[in-house]
């Protein structure tokens, strides 16, 4: 697979990363461990070198399950680039699912989190460590100071911020250079494009999660599809309702027509659209099936011209779309 450089860190990664959350939660029942390990290792064989997890990507009973899974799968693959995250926890007392999340980026919590993540991932250090969500009670300078401390201690090589905004990013970067943001980005979620000039100014990568709008843009879902209300977050996502599917018909048809022109799939066009737009965008789709991993990897070979991207962007501005899932509810406690 083609390679990209992760912002100002100099760290080389595969052009597409793999979001690993779905192996443990959010998209149905967790994948059986042996199957998940086999799939993760096969992803390496396909050329994936960049894997994304988080402290809370786990089951309701064990929020650390996903890190433990990657630790077992990659114990003997030391050349991979592993990313994890700190700064939020589930509100397990809530009576709704998905459980609301509570931000906690206090220095004490961060130091405890990194030690736990390293132990579970069976790593001496993490290549990049993200603040999962902004904690309004903790100044960005305070978080950045702890990141500088962890870099000096050799526990992380670089750091990033998920769902970053410009002010927070500038203030944090001034204390300890930020390597990447990890923000939601897809043809249905383009509001973070306003950050492009800042990312180019500071040489910061854009790691794009949910690059296919939680799977909708693959074109594989239609009206009448049902989802497990306990384990599958899509059961509550507006783009997957029958009304949402109907409202997004024109968008899906646009992607399918572009795919036919390039002898590609809708999923590949959704990824190629961002890969060809900016050299610092690294999508991390979260598939957990071998055939989907292979399909996604093929998107790096689909070349869209600047004119084609501009034409798509112009049409995306005019097409009517449903709301798109914006993330799990965050509460303050």
Q: In this structure, what token pair is assigned to residue 11?
A: 């760290």
Catalytic sites, residue numbers: 57
Nearest alpha-carbon partner for 60 in 29, 37, 35 = 29
User: Rounded to whole angstroms, how far apart are CA atoms 329 and 326?
Assistant: 9
103 Cβ partners below 8 Å, 6+ apart?
87, 88, 132, 133, 134, 135, 136, 137, 330, 332
Question: End-to-end distance of the chain based on CA atoms, in angstroms?
Answer: 44
Q: Which position has the token pair 């112009």?
A: 314
User: Rounded to whole angstroms, how far apart are CA atoms 237 and 186?
Assistant: 15
User: Rounded to whole angstroms, how far apart are CA atoms 227 and 305?
Assistant: 37
Q: Cβ of 222: how many Cβ atoms within 10 Å?
A: 12
pLDDT of residue 258: 98
Q: In degrees to the nearest 10, what's the CA dihedral of 10, 128, 214, 252?
A: -10
User: Rounded to whole angstroms, how far apart are CA atoms 83 and 20?
Assistant: 10
pLDDT of residue 330: 41
pTM (2 d.p.): 0.91
112 Cβ partners below 8 Å, 6+ apart?
none
Determine the 3-state secondary structure of 227 from DSSP: coil
176 Cβ partners below 8 Å, 6+ apart?
144, 145, 147, 148, 151, 159
The dihedral region occupied by 7, where left means phi > 0, alpha psi between -120 and 50, and beta the remainder, is left
CA-atom Rg of the chain in angstroms = 19
pLDDT of residue 101: 80
User: Rounded to whole angstroms, how far apart are CA atoms 17 and 115?
Assistant: 24
Q: Give average pLDDT by consecutive 10-residue segment, the chain, 333 residues.
A: 96 97 77 95 97 89 89 95 93 70 93 97 98 96 98 98 96 98 94 97 97 85 68 70 85 96 97 98 94 96 97 94 64 48
Q: What is the pLDDT of residues 62-82, one digit of tens each?
A: 778 999 999 999 999 989 999
pLDDT of residue 264: 97
Beta bridge partners of 84: 129
User: Rounded to whole angstroms, how far apart are CA atoms 27 and 233?
Assistant: 6
Q: What is the pLDDT of residues 222-241, one digit of tens each?
A: 676 766 666 666 667 777 78
Q: What is the pLDDT of residues 156-203, one digit of tens each?
A: 999 999 999 999 999 999 999 999 999 999 999 999 999 999 999 999
Q: In degrees to the nearest 10, what's the CA dihedral of 76, 18, 49, 296?
A: 130
Q: In degrees to the nearest 10, what's the CA dihedral of 251, 252, 258, 260?
A: -160
Beta bridge partners of 186: 189
């Amino acid at each position: 697979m083609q390679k990209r450089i992760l912002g100002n860190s100099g760290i080389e990664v595969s052009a597409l990363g793999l979001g690993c959350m779905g192996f443990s939660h959010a998209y149905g029942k967790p994948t059986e461990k042996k199957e998940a390990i086999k799939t993760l290792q096969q992803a390496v064989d396909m050329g994936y070198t960049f894997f994304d997890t988080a402290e809370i990507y786990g089951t309701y009973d064990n929020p650390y399950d996903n890190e433990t899974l990657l630790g077992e799968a990659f114990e003997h693959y030391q050349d991979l680039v592993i990313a994890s995250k700190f700064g939020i926890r589930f509100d397990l007392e809530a009576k709704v699912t998905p459980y609301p999340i509570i931000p906690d980026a206090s220095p004490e919590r961060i130091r405890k989190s990194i030690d736990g993540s390293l132990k579970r991932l069976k790593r001496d250090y993490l290549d990049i460590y993200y603040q999962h969500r902004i904690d309004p009670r903790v100044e960005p300078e305070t978080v950045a100071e702890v990141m500088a401390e962890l870099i000096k201690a050799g526990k992380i090589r670089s750091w990033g911020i998920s769902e970053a905004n410009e002010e927070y990013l500038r203030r944090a970067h001034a204390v300890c250079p930020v390597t990447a943001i990890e923000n939601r980005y897809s043809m249905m979620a383009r509001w973070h494009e306003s950050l492009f000039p800042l990312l180019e100014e500071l040489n910061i990568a854009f790691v794009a999660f949910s690059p296919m709008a939680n799977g909708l843009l693959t074109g594989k879902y239609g009206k009448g599809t049902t989802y497990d209300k306990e384990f599958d977050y899509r059961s509550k996502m507006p783009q997957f309702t029958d009304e949402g599917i109907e409202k997004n018909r024109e968008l899906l048809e646009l992607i399918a027509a572009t795919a036919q022109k390039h002898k590609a799939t809708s999923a590949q066009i959704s990824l190629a659209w961002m890969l060809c737009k900016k050299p610092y965008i690294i999508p991390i789709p979260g598939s957990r099936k071998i055939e989907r991993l292979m399909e996604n990897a093929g998107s790096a070979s689909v070349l869209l011209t600047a004119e084609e991207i501009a034409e798509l962007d112009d049409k995306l501005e005019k097409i009517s779309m449903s709301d798109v899932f914006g993330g799990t509810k965050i509460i303050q406690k």
